[in-house]
Each structure stands twice: as structure tokens, then as C-alpha cells.
């Protein structure tokens, strides 16, 4: 299996070669992929022209599927989220650094994103390793993170007061169910990754709202230092999509950012998110 895993050469991720996900992988293969996911943070696959049924079957090898509360699903497949931007739309989904579902008390393990239609140019996704970012902190600074807990929420992103609602952005029909955005959570600011055992900085600009016990004036500049550090180029990799490409990322080890640079073209992705577990320092 090790010869099938090729690190990207960037700060995060690896390519998986020689596997057809249309064929149900064995339990041994799933175990190897799980370990590789823990080690590399995100796994990339090419030329996977799989059906929705095969997509779901592969995901369920790892964990039960999480049905997204706020993003539209593929017709006939409520377990598959439709990540779509039409040529006449300006706003994309996921256009900023974030980690999914940190607002849940048991955050989702990760997502398996399959490209169905891609623009001729652009539409890449950037990934960043929160594990590598922790490893490159100074010893003195990393010690200041011990024992801290961060607060997270879905309300300001998906709720009735969310920016996209207040500004009447063109995500109507793609995002919705605002009244269900009631999730708030507290997690250690540094977690131990459930698969790899590595330390990971578990905050993100999308859903983190503060540091428990700190006021905003104290927390905001401190969090910005961490955000700027995680997003350094040496911690990142930019993935170029093509139809049939898959990215399988671990939310506990990475951030991602969908680059919105393809106005006037269509981009259609199918995403399945899988359940996780409570996180510990």
C-alpha cells in the first residue's frame, strides 16, 4: 500500500494511485487509507468515475454519513451534498479558510468531495495542515496553548443573521434552513488527532468565535496569530480538480478553502461528510 501513497510535495496531503473506488475496497485497504488520512491530512484520487451509490458505499466504509443541515443535497440522494456554482452566480460555497462542523460537539471526521463538472480554468481548493502548523510553533508559544479551549458556532455562518442572508447574496437555493443553525460547542484549542496521535491546532476563521474565558479584545489578535501561522505556504497545498477527481480530507487535521476564480463557468461537486467523535487535548 505504501507505494500507492505519494505525498504531494507540499505542506499537506498525498495522492493515492492504483485504486478504483467503484470496486468496494477490502477492510485491509480501508484500514490503510484511514492511517494514510491520519498521516497526510487529505488524500487525493484521480479518474474516479463512480456512481452516487459507490460514493456512499465508500464513505460508509469509514463512518456513518452525516446529512448536512444547511447545504442543498443532490436530487434523490439526501446523503450527498451538492456544492454548486452556476455561471451567473458570484458567490461560491466554502470561499474562505475553514474546517467543517467544528460547531458540533462531536465534529464530523471528514468529507469525500467528488468533482462532477469543473471549469476550464480555476476552481482549485487549497488545503492547510493544522498538524504541521502545530509542529512548527516555537516551544514557548506552543506551551501557551496548553489547557486553552476555543468556542465555535454555526449561527453567524448559517443562521438568520448570517452575512449571506443579510446581504442577500446569490446563495439562495444552495444554502438554507437558517433556523436550524443553533449549534455551539467548546473544544480544546489543541487536540490529539484520533488516528495519528499528532497534535493539531483546532481553531479556524470560519466557525471559531473566541477563547473560553477570554474577552474579544484578548482572543481576536491571539487567534489571528494562529490563523496566519496555519495559512503559511509551507503548510499548504493547492489541488487542481478535473471531473472524477476526489479529495478525502480529515477535518481534525486540515483546513480548506474553495478558490472563487471561475466566474461565468459551472462547477458541480458532490460531497459526502462522515461522522466523527468528541475531541480531546
Residues 6 or more apart from 224 whose CB is under 8 A from it?
Answer: none
What's the CA dihedral at 18, 22, 75, 257 to 10 degrees? -20
Catalytic residue among 132, 187, 193, 256: 256
Please give the Cα distance from 175 to 89 (Å, whole number). Answer: 13
SS3 (DSSP) at 222: helix
Contact assessment for residue 246 and residue 112, using Cβ atoms and an 8 Å cutoff: yes
- Of these residues, 40, 267, 270, 271, which one is catalytic? 271
From 40, 55, 100, 267, active-site residue = 100
Strand partners, 274: 65, 110
Annotated catalytic residue: which of 98, 152, 174, 270? Answer: 98
Per the rule left: phi > 0, alpha: psi between -120 and 50, beta: everything else, 146 is: beta
Distance separating alpha carbons of residues 100 and 235, to the nearest angstrom = 18
CA dist 198 and 195 (Å) reads 8
Backbone angles phi, psi at 188, to 5 degrees: -55, 140
Measured between alpha carbons, how far is residue 168 from residues 88, 163, 180, 257 in Å?
15, 8, 19, 22
- Told to judge if 256 belongs to the known catalytic residues of this protein, a careful annotator would answer yes
Is position 155 annotated as part of the catalytic site? no
Distance of CA 250 to the CA centre of its chain: 7
Give the catalytic positions in this structure: 98, 100, 256, 271
Amino acid at each position: 500500500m505504501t507505494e500507492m501513497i505519494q505525498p504531494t510535495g507540499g505542506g499537506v496531503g498525498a495522492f493515492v494511485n492504483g485504486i478504483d473506488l467503484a470496486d468496494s475496497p477490502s477492510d485491509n485497504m480501508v484500514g490503510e487509507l484511514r492511517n494514510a488520512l491520519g498521516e497526510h491530512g487529505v488524500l487525493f484520487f484521480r479518474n474516479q468515475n463512480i456512481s452516487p451509490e459507490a460514493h456512499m458505499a465508500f464513505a460508509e466504509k469509514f463512518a456513518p454519513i452525516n446529512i448536512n443541515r444547511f447545504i442543498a443535497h443532490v436530487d434523490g440522494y439526501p446523503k450527498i451534498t451538492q456544492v454548486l456554482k452556476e455561471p451567473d452566480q458570484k458567490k461560491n460555497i466554502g470561499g474562505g479558510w475553514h474546517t467543517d462542523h467544528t460547531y458540533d460537539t462531536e465534529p464530523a471526521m471528514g468529507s469525500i468531495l467528488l468533482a462532477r463538472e469543473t471549469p476550464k480554468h480555476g476552481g482549485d481548493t487549497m488545503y492547510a495542515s493544522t498538524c504541521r502548523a502545530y509542529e512548527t510553533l516555537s516551544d514557548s508559544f506552543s506551551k501557551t496553548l496548553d489547557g486553552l479551549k476555543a468556542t465555535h458556532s454555526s449561527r453567524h455562518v448559517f443562521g438568520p443573521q448570517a452575512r449571506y442572508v443579510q446581504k442577500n447574496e446569490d446563495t439562495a437555493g444552495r444554502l438554507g434552513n437558517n433556523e436550524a443553525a443553533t449549534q455551539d460547542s467548546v473544544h480544546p484549542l489543541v487536540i490529539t488527532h484520533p488516528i495519528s496521535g499528532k497534535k493539531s491546532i483546532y481553531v479556524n476563521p470560519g466557525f471559531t468565535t473566541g477563547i473560553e474565558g477570554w474577552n474579544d479584545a484578548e482572543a481576536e489578535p491571539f487567534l489571528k496569530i494562529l490563523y496566519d501561522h496555519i495559512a503559511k505556504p509551507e503548510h499548504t497545498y493547492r489541488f487542481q480538480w478535473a471531473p472524477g477527481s476526489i479529495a478525502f480530507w480529515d477535518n481534525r487535521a486540515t483546513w480548506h478553502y474553495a478558490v472563487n476564480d471561475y466566474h461565468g463557468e459551472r462547477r458541480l461537486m458532490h460531497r459526502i461528510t462522515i461522522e466523527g467523535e468528541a475531541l480531546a487535548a
